[in-house]
């Protein structure tokens, strides 16, 4: 099966069971499927796309908000209060493709469509904790170049960021906290 017969579209309520199956099989366990369900219930914005092959869901990607606890704010404060000038940043996670459909470009299709959907929703930047050889092809760079660090331990180069709006992460150095659902599932 080639990626040419795949369409990428927003998830529908009728897709939920298949999305669970895709995540269960891709990650060999239920944690990511439970995470997606929890994010769907409580995250805003929440962007969730599927890869559809003739009516069968073969891949999934979602994006949910993260919080940056700034090391400093431009005014010298801690940067942890509500600030409408802060960039809107989301985390890409999880992304999954059924094992028999992997290595066919479906993951790349999901990432590209997901980043476009984020831009359509006026999201300023995206972070990901993922393979350092995979995500740079989409423009992701080591998050440390923006002064960002993850709340989760990561191998060097695995925590990456992408500005969807030029200079969106200027003065945003700090600790990135993923949606609370990440800590509740697993």
At 171-181, the pLDDT tens digits run: 999 999 999 99
184 exposure class (CB count in 10 Å sphere: 0-12, 13-18, 19+): exposed
Which pLDDT score, from 0 to 100, does residue 74 have? 52
What pLDDT is recorded for position 76? 44
Q: For residue range 19-62, list pLDDT tens digits in order.
A: 999 999 999 999 999 999 999 999 999 999 999 999 999 999 99
The reported pLDDT for the residue numbered 71 is 82
Mean pLDDT of 148-159: 93
125-129 sheet: strands from edge to edge: 7-10, 47-53, 56-65, 89-97, 125-129, 159-163, 141-142
Whether omega before 94 lies within 30 degrees of 0, making that bond cis, reads yes
CATH number of domain containing 24: 3.40.630.30
* Beta bridge pairs of residue 98: none
Q: What letter does residue 66 receive in the DSSP assignment? A: -
User: Does pLDDT of 168 surpass 90?
Assistant: yes
Residues of the domain holding 143: 3-184
pLDDT tens for each residue of 101-136: 999 999 999 999 999 999 999 999 999 999 999 999
Number of domains in the chain: 1
pTM metric for this prediction:
0.90
Alpha-carbon gap, residue 119 to 163, rounded angstroms: 10
Taking the C-alpha atoms of residue 153 and residue 86, their distance in angstroms, rounded to an integer, is: 25
pLDDT grade for 73, boundaries at 50, 70 and 90: low
| Predicted pLDDT at 78 | 38
Work out the pLDDT band at 186, boundaries 50, 70, 90.
low
């Amino acid at each position: 099966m080639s990626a040419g017969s795949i369409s990428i579209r927003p998830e529908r309520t009728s897709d939920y069971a298949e999305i669970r199956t895709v995540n269960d099989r891709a990650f060999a366990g239920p944690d990511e499927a439970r995470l997606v369900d929890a994010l769907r219930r409580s995250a805003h914005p929440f962007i969730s796309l599927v890869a559809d092959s003739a009516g069968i869901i073969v891949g999934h990607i979602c994006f949910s908000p993260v919080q940056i606890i700034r090391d400093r704010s431009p005014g010298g404060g801690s940067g942890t209060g509500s600030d409408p000038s802060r960039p809107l940043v989301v985390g890409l996670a999880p992304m999954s493709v059924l094992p028999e459909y992997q290595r066919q470009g479906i993951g790349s299709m999901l990432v590209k469509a997901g980043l476009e959907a984020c831009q359509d929703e006026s999201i300023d930047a995206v972070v990901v904790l993922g393979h350092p050889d995979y995500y740079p092809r989409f423009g992701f760079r080591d998050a440390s170049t923006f002064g960002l660090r993850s709340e989760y331990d990561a191998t060097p180069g695995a925590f990456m960021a992408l500005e969807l709006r030029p200079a969106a992460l200027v003065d945003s150095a700090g600790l990135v906290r993923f949606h609370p659902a990440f800590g509740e599932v697993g």
